[in-house]
Amino acid sequence: MKARELKIPPLLLVVLFTVAMWAVSLATPNFDVAPAIRYAGAVFFTLPGVVFCLYGVLHFRQAKTTVNPLTPDSATALVSSGVYRISRNPMYLGFLCLLLAWATLLANLFALLLALLFAPYMNRFQILPEERALQSLFGADYNAYRQQVRRWL
């Protein structure tokens, strides 16, 4: 399983999930939900999704550390301020929110289930390897941060 770790960039994974969700919504029945409710639900998830993504990147840039998710061992700073006080993975949380927004727009149960599979996939193949790298790089500081801030929310 380690051979599959850190192989697919998370942004590409979001695109793949988005396409898969759209395809499954074409092949399976959708909920009969009024467009206004679907749009409101999508906005409900999109706004925090965009905020988490943008501020996550912004804090990394301010700390002058890598935003490349495929090379966590090249991190030069442990970022624990801003949105990183709420979530250890705000960019990935933002991606999940955006997938939930898309599932809401599609009004499809199977699209929603696909969106929810994003989190366990990310935990196993992206976040756990990142955590190992951060533990190796930042030791006790990372342990203290991990004790204070949850992985997702």
% of the chain surpassing 90 pLDDT: 97
**Residue appearing with tokens 């998710």:** 69
Please write the tens of the pLDDT for every residue from 114-140.
999 999 999 999 999 999 999 999 999
Residue among 80, 27, 34, 26 nearest 56 (CA): 80
* 72 pLDDT above the threshold of 80: yes
User: How many Cβ atoms are within 10 Å of 60's Cβ, its own excluded?
Assistant: 19
Residue 24: pLDDT band with limits 50, 70, 90: very high
Which pLDDT score is estimated for 3? 86
Distance between CA atoms of residues 12 and 117, nearest Å = 15
Q: What is the pTM of this model?
A: 0.97
CA 19 to chain centre: 16
Q: In degrees rounded to 5, what are phi and psi of residue 127?
A: -70, -45
| Average pLDDT for 64-83 | 97
Which pLDDT score is estimated for 133? 98
Distance between CA atoms of residues 30 and 32, nearest Å = 6
Decide if 8 contacts 125 (C-beta within 8 A).
Answer: yes
Which pLDDT score is estimated for 2? 83
- Determine the residue type at 38: R
| Average pLDDT for 71-93 | 98
* 32 pLDDT above the threshold of 90: yes
Which pLDDT score is estimated for 106? 99
Q: At what angle do helices 10-27 and 90-106 cross, to 10 degrees?
A: 20
User: How many Cβ atoms are within 10 Å of 91's Cβ, its own excluded?
Assistant: 21
* 1 pLDDT above the threshold of 80: no
User: How many Cβ atoms are within 10 Å of 26's Cβ, its own excluded?
Assistant: 10
